Structure 1
Amino acid sequence: MILEVEIPLKFPGTTALSYIRRREVLKKLPFVKYYMDEHHPDWYQKTIRLTTPLEIEFSKEATDFLLKYITIYVSPAFASYQKVDTSYKQATTKTLDQLKEIIQCAEFFGCCSFMDCIGFVIAHKLNRLTVDEVNTFLDPQEGERYREWRSAFTRRRT
């Protein structure tokens, strides 16, 4: 007998839902696992279908990416820096802003190992940028202040 699980997820600004339907995915999501342990303590032994969606504060795209690859990506401790493009192929196609939202989504769900994987890809991409671009990515306001400071400093030196 196959035990089923179905947990709907609701996102801001859309009526479209995503679903957690695999127990192996649920086990890797501490936020959802704690919820299930508290409200449905027998979730691992019985078929569970929630009717009320859990509200997620991140985009559907970022959450769907996390749900799709959480069981595939392994910690960077076991991956080589030279193999970022092959170890995390799907993540390398994302922009830095998309990766930033994905890593924030992973933090929300409590997925530390997945955060490490995405952080590894972000670091790999940041390594190719200038200092100004890195500053802007990390904190857009700080990046602007840095450029103003650098411009003023350069003018004083000339």
Structure 2
Amino acid sequence: MTICEVRLQFQNAEQPIALRDKDLIKKIPVIAAAIEVENVNWETTDTIIADPIDIPFSREAGEFLLDNIRKYEMPDKETTVNDYPEADQLSLQELKPIMELAVFFNCTVFRHAIGFVVVKKLEKESFENITRYLGTPMVGPGRYLDEAGGWVNVLEP
């Protein structure tokens, strides 16, 4: 059996987290690609990456992703937030860096699962809170569709 090891250095952690599980590494395309740069045959030959990979996210976000990525599946029309109990326990502010890390790592299925929980939480929020969370300006009511031309007209601020 071959070994593979890569260490992830999160921005607020003194020590890196070592990944040795090939199946877990395969679920994180960015890390798998970084290993392939060193050894294209990393799945069948011993591969130890000497230098840790700097990850510009918190260790907490990283640990949450690593702890849950295997069990979270792509949401479908049968999915409820109960399918992601760990994520449902977190606040919108706690979920935001986890979602951003999933995007950074290119973890599509995990990103969709976290996004599902975020959307379900946002459904309960006011329009003002939703725009604040998304970091977008709130535009007041107005007429944006030019019915004659069929164009959407956005007012300049």
1:84 paired residue number: 81
Give the whole-Å Cα distance in 2 for the aligned partners of 1:57 and 1:117. Answer: 22
Give the whole-Å Cα distance in 1 for the aligned partners of 2:71 and 2:133. Answer: 27
1:106 to 102, 107, 111: 102
- Give the secondary structure class of the aligned counterpart of 1:9: strand
| Structure number having the greater helix percentage | 1
Deviation for aligned residue 1:132: 1.5
Residue identity over aligned pairs, in percent, reads 28
> Is the contact between residue 20 and residue 67 of structure 1 (CA under 8 Å) also seen in structure 2?
no
> Is the contact between residue 10 and residue 55 of structure 2 (CA under 8 Å) also seen in structure 1?
yes
Map residues 77-156 of structure 1 onto 2, 5 A cutoff.
77=76, 80-81=78-79, 83-85=80-82, 87-139=83-135, 142=137
Deviation for aligned residue 1:131: 1.3
Give the whole-Å Cα distance in 2 for the aligned partners of 1:3 and 1:63. Answer: 25
- Give the secondary structure class of the aligned counterpart of 2:137: helix
- Give the secondary structure class of the aligned counterpart of 1:76: coil
Deviation for aligned residue 1:5: 2.1
Q: CA RMSD in A?
A: 1.8
State the number of aligned residues: 141
* TM-score, reference length from structure 1: 0.81
> Is the contact between residue 8 and residue 18 of structure 2 (CA under 8 Å) also seen in structure 1?
yes
- Give the secondary structure class of the aligned counterpart of 1:41: coil
Q: Deviations over 1:17-53 (max 9, x none)?
A: 1122211111111111111112111210123222210
